[in-house]
Structures are given as structure tokens and as C-alpha cells.
Amino acid sequence: MSFDLVLFGGTGDLAWRKLMPALFQAFRHGTLPAQGRIIGVGRDDLSNEQYRDLIRSRFDHVELAKRPSVEEFTRFAALLEFVQMDLSIPADYARLAAALAQRQADTVVMYVATAPSLFTTVCEQLAVAGLNTPQTRVVLEKPLGHDLASNRAINESVCRVFGEKQVFRIDHYLGKPAVQNLFALRFGNSLFEPLWRREHIANIQITIAEELGVEKRGAFYETTGALRDMVQNHALQLLCAIGMEPPINSHADAIRDEKLKVLRSLKPWTPETLAQDVIRGQYSAGGINGTPVASYREETGVNPQSHTETFVALRTEISNWRWAGVPFYIRTGKRLAGRDARIVVNFRPTPHAIFNSQIDVANRLVINLQPKDGLELHLLAQGQNNRRNTQTLSPVQLDLDFDKRFGSERVGAYERLLLDVIDGRLNLFVRSDEQEEAWRWVEPILEHWKNDAQGPRLYGAGTWGPSASSAMIARDGFCWAEET
């Protein structure tokens, strides 16, 4: 199968940090379809050779295992071409059309890795240039809008020129191997299904924590914040994977139908729950691994009086028969105590205790997403050194590290997603009605914050966020996993 993959923003940060390394890994692994061509698009006046030299220099900055040898890059570079375009000038799209007309590829992928404000322009101009053929697929990076209205406007504009099945709204979290194993855990095994409900589960915690600050993205982050950047997409997609009903099959719409039901079942916000169950924070100066770091308001591009949140913790429920009454806690933030993404499923204690226990914790399942990737099952057992027969239980742990088990077989998130786009598989991409429902649910939070003069709570860099986050979960009689 021949394909042309067009990277709008082909000289940008995302292209060289994520997309080009992912495409090279697919090329190295032999999974990138033959007869492929990768066309970078940008304003720079570059020849094909100059573009290849630019990408070669960028590979020096990616992690060592993903860097090509000289011989490997020479072969990979043969796939690379460059087209100079100003995306705001309609006439420039004719230049791209001429490049694509040089051969009639079976599939053409338009990857729009640009500012969201250009999504509509690019898609409309592709149609004007006759490049919205049935063989064309368009990939849209997040954030897709900044609220419900802007998201709906983008989707409506894009779907006027492309069919829904041609639009691939990418959320790279869905391509992570650990998230794939979350679906496998739930729907490929019968072990947990009888327990996966309100009668057996006390609460579920989703944490996406970063040690990094906003780095050089201060100006972007000022208009985005943690709620839009992480909760509206990544965290809610994880919640859907945990909470959804088993789909009737593995087809894309069957999976996405069930995720949509979860989003529609999320408990509506009230003034009381917005005040009590949503915590926003902003990091102040502190230390990460013994190194002093500046506060968010001191970052480049950030307003010194900024009220932008770098931390969000919230409590919600899925109002259906499976989950009614089970609290779901979501927490994400920058400059936290560690880089840690995981889902913790806390089971209810035994209904009648006949053993003593050294800890006040019931069973729990931990699904590690990053940096560790795997499963932990926490149980209680009686140790062999219990000579006095005191019937005391101690914690034990079953630990499955997917990186150790599968090693070189692992496929990175963007590699997996790019191959899926080329092959036309929509399972790991977000449908427009999913996105709109997610925006509809977070919008009351955004409106509440507009009228909240208090602003975000400060927390020291290198901590786990504002103390109010712990107080919120403690009201239910629970605590975050690291506090047990």
C-alpha cells in the first residue's frame, strides 16, 4: 500500500520531538507500509536535502534508543520531502496539490500539527484545492478548541469537507501500551469483570503527575491550563476506559459508543459540588530532586498575576447501575513530587474480618501508565515467619512489569497511532460527539472559575499539590494512594 503523509508544521516542535521519531521507529521495525512518502510543510524556504539535514540534526536531541545510525537515516531520509507553504495563503495549497499529483498514493494523511486556530483554515483550503478525496484522512492534534462552542465550531467546519470516518482526533494517551493493556485487562480477561462494579469497589483514583513545569510553553499554557490540557481529554479518556461497559465487538464505533455513554452518565455539577469537589492549584517556588525551581508566575511568558491553574483535583461519579455511589477521583498537575501516571482501583474491605491486619488497607489494583508500565495487585497474606499463630495478615504484592515482560516488542504511542491512521483504524481516536460531551462536562468548572476571585491555591513545587486535594478525598473517608 502506498501512502503520502503530509505534516503541516513539519519543522515544528511536535514534528521533530514526537512524529518523526515515531515514524522512524515504524520504519526501523518494518511496520511502516512500503512505498511511503513523508512531506513536511512549513514556511521555511528549504529544499528536500535541507529538510533532511534539519531532521537529521533534530534526531540528536531525541532519546538515544530512538536515534538512527547513519545508514538507517540515509534510508529513512529517502522518504522525506518538503513543500514551502504559508497556510493562510490559498494559492500555496496548489503547490501541495502539485506535489501530491506526482503520484496517486492509495492513502493521503494530512496531519495538522499546527495552532488550533488554523485547523478550520487548513481543512477548508484542502477542499478548495480538491485534496479532500475519499482517500484522504485528516489528523487533528489537541487542543480542539478552548470550550464547547469553539470545539463544536471546529468539528462542524471540518465535517463540512471531510466525513466523520476521515477525521482522526488524536489523543496520544490512547496509544500508550499501558492504556492498551487497560482495555486488554478489562475485556480480554474474565477475572475482574464480576468484581468491576459498585458492590466490590470503594473508589477509583486517576493520577497524571509531572515533575516538569511549563518549560518554554508558558504563553501557550497561560491560555490553556491543566483542566483543558489534561482533564478534558487524557484523564476523561482514562475514566471512560475504566468505567465503560464491554462493547459488543472491537470495532471503533462499538468502543466509542460505550465511552460516550460514560461521559453522558457523569454526575452533573451543582454550585455546591463545584465549590467542594473541584480543587485548582498553581505551583509556587520549591525544589525538584534537590534542585530549586521557580514559581509558575516567574516562568517565561506567564502573567505575574496569573490565575491559570497548573493543578486540578476533582471528585465525580458515574450515575449508572454499575457505578452509582462510587467516587472517581482525578488529579493532574505540574511540578509535583514525581512523574507518575497511574490508576488505582481500591476494593472494599472484607465484609467480616476474622484476621488481624498490620495495615488498614483493603485490596487494590494499580495500573501503572508511566514511567513504570504494568500492573500491581495488592493483597493480604499470612507470612511464613508467623510462629506464634497470631493470625495477623501482612501486605503482599503481585507485580507485572510490561517493559520487562515484553521488552523490544513494545510500540510507542505515536508510532501505534500513526500506523493506525495509515491503515484507517479509528479505534484509538476520539469521535466528535465524545469530545463535545467532555467539553460540556468541564464547561461549568470553567464558568465557576471565571467568577471565583480567590484564584488557584498555591502549592510548593515538589509536593503533591494543595492540601485541599487531600481534604477533598478525606471527606469520603479515603486518601490518595501515596498517603496510605
Whether 200 sits among the annotated catalytic residues: the reply is no
Question: What are phi and psi for residue 311, nearest 5 degrees?
Answer: -145, 140
What strands, in cross-sheet order, belong to the sheet with 374-381?
Answer: 356-357, 392-401, 374-381, 364-370, 340-347, 201-209, 327-333, 311-317, 278-284, 457-460
Mention every residue, 6+ apart, whose C-beta is less than 8 A from residue 142: 169, 170, 171, 233
Q: How far is CA 306 from CA 120, 168, 335, 424, 462, in A?
A: 30, 34, 16, 42, 20
Q: Which residue type sits at 453?
A: A
Cell matching residue 176: 500508550
b/e burial code for range 294-305 (CB count within 10 A of at least 16 → b): bbbbebeebeee
In angstroms, the CA 276 to CA 191 distance is: 36
∠ CA 429-435-436, nearest 5°, is: 155
In angstroms, the CA 90 to CA 129 distance is: 8
In angstroms, the CA 114 to CA 13 distance is: 10
Q: Which member of 172, 234, 251, 448 is catalytic?
A: 234
Please state whether the peptide bond connecting residue 371 to the residue before it is cis, i.e. omega within 30 degrees of 0. Answer: yes
Cell matching residue 296: 509558575
Catalytic residues: 234
